[in-house]
Structure 1
Amino acid sequence: MKLSNKIAITLLAIGLIGLVSFQIKKNDRYFEIIKNLDVFTTLYKELNTYYVDEINPTDIMETGIEAMLESLDPYTNFIPEDKIEDYRIMSTGQYAGIGTTMGKIEDRHVVMMIFEGAPAETSGVNIGDELLEINNNPVDDYTTEEINKLLKGQIGTTVEIKINRKGIKKPLNFSINRESINVESVPYYGLIAEDIAYIRLTEFSSGAGASVRSALVELKGKGAKKVILDLRGNPGGLLNESIEVSNVFIPKGLEVVSTKGKIEEWNKTYTANKNPVDVNIPVAVLISNNSASASEIVAGVMQDYDRGILVGQRSYGKGLVQATRPLSYNSQLKITTAKYYIPSGRCIQAIDYSHRNEDGSIGKIPDSLKSEFKTRAGRIVYDGGGVSPDHSVINKGYAPITIQLIRKGFIFDFATEYYYKNVNSKPDPREFSVSDDLYNEFTTWVSGKDYSYTTATEETIKELRETADSDKYFDFLEKEIMVLEKEIQEHKKEDLKVFQSEIKRALKEEIISRYHKRQGMIESSFENDEEVDEAIKLLNDEAQYKALLQVDK
């Protein structure tokens, strides 16, 4: 037999062995699936039949499903039939209801925000109203989620509500027709400086790209020559809308994002397919620790093509793509099907998505776990977790006292009372400020109320006390620890004075919301927004703006 024939027969034999081996492994996998499904089914049946207490079959099944999915990634979720509507609202930005955002302050269910032009507003419901009843049913024991569900319903149906209002002794009754509510993905846009456009994008729901496009066209018509695109806190949304938003600023035909998964059909490349609005206008994109998913695609595209500068903090780090798969009985599975890659080739998915800082940000990533990529101009960028800004701005946040005043509802309630005392005035969001007299009125109003709080410093001292006690050093350090604790308590007495600047800012935004809703709150925040100020400075400094987009020499 010729050598070539022997080689051919050997290769064929190896191929057949491999095929049989693959088939055996495949059959083993199917057997494992069938076996485990059978075990799960019989266990579920035995529990429901013999467990000593009555079991809710739906609750225990959902618990099992959620535990199973929890072992995967945070974004693969089971959506039962009764939560399908909530998921639809998240993905489309539309629902039928009265247009309120409800919240709970202590034991009160309160209207926290009303959408402009929504049925609640036209019917006379105000921010700060306390909800007592829905369709003659008291809501004392309801959760906020349950209340929101009851307020929603089919278009054209009516909901009856009873509320308490500041300054009015008797409850008020409203009969409100539910309508289609479109939650604006661009709640505010305008000229923030003489020639600088500002566009706030809060989510990538259906129509987000069109909203950003029309906003920029309008603002350019009013003289805008630079633009700030604010993606801070934007959790993402629809993948196609991230492409539409990117396409506002980059040329038609450029790659925006590609996806790669286990199933070949999920391996796709998406390109900009429309004519852009402006490919040269200077752009500053604001990002934060909670800018995620679609927000990171847009921010990454702007960075990878050196199309604009990123200002703020490193983004969240969600580079996974989800799709929904239909299940029986109208339930669905939202499942991670692929990872996405931005134009430089990097995936911004956090390496470890199970451990994050309290604010949602990613901890420090070792250099050994990061890979290096380059932008179109040759700037070095990295994968491994989020998109890093070109110009970092530390988000200092509020002091503990301000957080507690907000959490306890004191700033909210004071703003409501202010509104009813000054209901006929309509302060300008940019010009209004909380005067010293008004602030003194607030400090007098809040005195005697319980807004006690524990600072991070106090927590650290408490840990020191416990550690010293454990190590038998407490007797040596007791005096010093007690001095520290006393000094902190003395300083806390002055916190209303020390942190009055930021408390005034929180009061201003809350008061303005009573008159101008979401748009007013955003506009009133510009006065003390460090990231916006930095973006304006960079856009007005042409040399520094260009330097940030060039390779370091």
Structure 2
Amino acid sequence: MKNLRRFTLIALAVVTIPFVAFKYDDRYFEIAKNLDIFATMFKELNAYYVDEINPNKAMRLSIESMLKQLDPYTNFFPEDDIEDYMTMTTGKYNGIGATVSHRDNKHVVVMIYEGSPADKAGMKIGDEIVKVDGVDVVSRKGVDIGRLMKGQTGTTVKMSVKRFGQNSPLDLVVGRDIVKTLNVPHSGMINEEVGYIQLNDFTATAAKEVKSAFNDLKGQGMKKLILDLRGNPGGLLNMSVEICNAFLPKDQMIVETRGKVAEWNHKYMALETPLDTEMPIVALINSQSASAAEIVSGTLQDYDRAVLIGQRSFGKGLVQTTRDLSYNTKMKITTAKYYIPSGRCIQALDYSHRNPDGSVGRVPDSLKTAFKTKNGRTVYDGGGVDPDIKTEVPIMAAVTANLIQKNYIFDYATKYYFEHVNQKPKDKFSIQEADFQEFISWLKSKDFTYTTTMEKNLDNLEASAKKENSLDLVQEQIKSLRDKINQGKQQDLIKNKEDIKEQLEAEILSRYYYQKAMKFVAFDRDKEVQEALKLFKDMPRYNAILKGSK
């Protein structure tokens, strides 16, 4: 018994020694320990599990599961996805210059980049791809058609496509080249003194494109600028700094980053001579304006350099840094939060405190802190950037939303294009009444149906009534309401004609002008643009807003 006790004490001592050398708060030891456990477990699983395990797939799922516990912007890029990563950061990729969407078991071209190999080869929006280099992509499940189309510059790919009005597939030989996506798809003069720049992204050439557009418009007599950041998801931090620098004096602090590691704490200053520090600017934002778009809009607001119009921005105040990993893989890690000149961080989501269902919520107003702009205006942190002039989000009618969702707008635009190939639309294009009536007639042949929110609510009411055995009490009223809804739906196309026409016009224009379709859209129905034009006509109000005395 004495020997057994002695052996037990020795064993405990042996086990205890490592924990004396490596304290529980020693992260590196904990990492090494858990990696060893994981590797051992994976080896055993691979050796003894009843079915074969795909190591790449299993590890990818493990990594993704781990990263899900963090924020949505910390991502792993395996070697196969490096091309997508490069496209995201540089705006360039090797391919044919066509975006393809998979819907209804079809691979349909939904956008073509002007001047790209696909454009030069005669590919059209609406083409259905059926074969790529002899591979039947219709019958084969799980084909990544994007990877089949991408490839090294100078190589070619043979595509077979079904086209509207053609009885048999067309064969196209498309070259591959470096394809550049535009950050500024459109800029132009709205009237004799107001210029407009649409900034859709912040890849490596964003600042250069904005500066070029600005100088061009100034040469055309621009006296006031509308900078459209709506729907801009952000991108490279340094591009946001350069764009702010274009409108702010040299040596001003643009944005500051603060992280756990000291090397990520950095103040980004305006280092160059600006393009213009006096021209009145209106920046348009909405709930999809994020990250770098919020740095630009928030910084211009903090220095009282621009009036913001629209809706509260997304609220992404996190900075990502790319780290190279082994085997040509990469990881994009959230390393810091950014703070704009007033001192506020616009991060709206707290990823360290999740709801029971795993979702995250906005920071309550009661927890927000007030900050001051250069002129002393009050602004707040923690919830995105608030516009100076708020506009309501237009609510799309159910009929219009369903026409878009079920691709009837898209398909009719394809039909319209091939029937009017040589009738290229001009400025302020608008489809005529006869065209709209033709669309309605065409729609009848498609058996278009949809369900409204009211109908869904009635379905829920009916289900609840059945559950409680009280359907007979409300059945007559439910039937009456359904009849009224159906009568209303028959008039929905006419009632929402202007909204439907607007969607049709934008889709039709994309067939002729691709990403530059915006250039030919009339701004008459654009609420934020009209609000900006109205403000520019009332410069005392514009100045009062910036001074905080509106």
Give the alignment's TM-score, normalised by structure 2: 0.91
Q: Indicate which of 426, 437, 441 corresponds to 1:440.
A: 437
**Residue 513 (1) aligns with residue 510 (2):** yes
**Residue 530 (1) aligns with residue 527 (2):** yes
Query: Contact 1:390/1:548 (CA < 8 Å) preserved in 2?
Result: yes
Give the 5 Å matches for 1:180-191. 180-191=178-189
Query: Contact 1:317/1:362 (CA < 8 Å) preserved in 2?
Result: no
Q: Indicate which of 112, 115, 131 corresponds to 1:114.
A: 112
**Residue 305 (1) aligns with residue 298 (2):** no
Residue 5 of structure 2: aligned partner: none
Residue 146 of structure 1: aligned partner: 144
Query: Contact 1:350/1:362 (CA < 8 Å) preserved in 2?
Result: no
Residue 464 of structure 1: aligned partner: 461
Distance 1:22 1:494 in 2: 78
| Unaligned runs of at least 5 residues, structure 2 | 1-18
**Residue 488 (1) aligns with residue 518 (2):** no
Q: How far 1:452 sits from its partner (Å)?
A: 2.3
Q: What does the per-residue CA deviation read over 1:285-309, in whole Å, with 9 as the maximum and x for residues that have no partner?
A: 0111111100000010011001001
Q: Indicate which of 532, 539, 545 corresponds to 2:542.
A: 545
Which is worse superposed, 276-285 or 482-491? Answer: 482-491
Amino acid at match of 1:255: M
| Unaligned runs of at least 5 residues, structure 1 | 1-20
Which is worse superposed, 138-147 or 298-307? Answer: 138-147
Q: 1:543 to 1:355 in 2, by over 3 A?
A: farther
Name the SS of the counterpart of 1:549 in structure 2: helix
Residue 204 of structure 1: aligned partner: 202
Q: 1:293 to 1:457 in 2, by over 3 A?
A: same
Give the 5 Å matches for 1:233-312. 233-312=231-310
Residue 217 of structure 1: aligned partner: 215
Distance 2:246 2:447 in 1: 50
Q: How far 1:281 sits from its partner (Å)?
A: 0.6
Q: What does the per-residue CA deviation read over 1:401-432, in whole Å, with 9 as the maximum and x for residues that have no partner?
A: 212212222221211221222211111141x2
Residue 413 of structure 2: aligned partner: 415
Q: How far 1:251 sits from its partner (Å)?
A: 0.8
Amino acid at match of 1:513: S
Query: Contact 2:76/2:331 (CA < 8 Å) preserved in 1?
Result: yes
Residue 11 of structure 1: aligned partner: none
Amino acid at match of 1:227: L
Residue 132 of structure 2: aligned partner: 134
Query: Contact 2:106/2:128 (CA < 8 Å) preserved in 1?
Result: yes
Distance 2:53 2:548 in 1: 64
Give the alignment's TM-score, normalised by structure 1: 0.91
Q: 1:41 to 1:26 in 2, by over 3 A?
A: same
Give the 5 Å matches for 1:15-414. 25=23, 28-141=26-139, 146-352=144-350, 365-414=363-412
Distance 1:444 1:68 in 2: 53
Distance 1:355 1:162 in 2: 51
Q: What does the per-residue CA deviation read over 1:249-306, in whole Å, with 9 as the maximum and x for residues that have no partner?
A: 1111111100000110000000111111111111110111111100000010011001
Amino acid at match of 1:492: K
Query: Contact 2:246/2:275 (CA < 8 Å) preserved in 1?
Result: yes
Distance 1:70 1:337 in 2: 16
Amino acid at match of 2:438: E
Distance 2:496 2:122 in 1: 36
Q: How far 1:193 sits from its partner (Å)?
A: 1.6
Distance 1:274 1:119 in 2: 37
Q: 1:23 to 1:479 in 2, by over 3 A?
A: farther
Amino acid at match of 1:376: K
Residue 426 of structure 2: aligned partner: 428
Which is worse superposed, 269-278 or 50-59? Answer: 50-59
Q: 1:324 to 1:26 in 2, by over 3 A?
A: farther
Distance 1:226 1:160 in 2: 48
User: How many aligned positions are there?
Assistant: 528
Name the SS of the counterpart of 1:378 in structure 2: coil
Query: Contact 1:429/1:521 (CA < 8 Å) preserved in 2?
Result: no
**Residue 498 (1) aligns with residue 502 (2):** no
Identity %: 50
Distance 1:190 1:23 in 2: 68
Query: Contact 1:319/1:349 (CA < 8 Å) preserved in 2?
Result: yes
Distance 1:473 1:226 in 2: 64
Query: Contact 2:286/2:312 (CA < 8 Å) preserved in 1?
Result: yes
Query: Contact 2:70/2:351 (CA < 8 Å) preserved in 1?
Result: no
Query: Contact 2:96/2:149 (CA < 8 Å) preserved in 1?
Result: yes
Distance 2:274 2:371 in 1: 26
Q: How far 1:57 sits from its partner (Å)?
A: 1.2
Name the SS of the counterpart of 1:215 in structure 2: helix
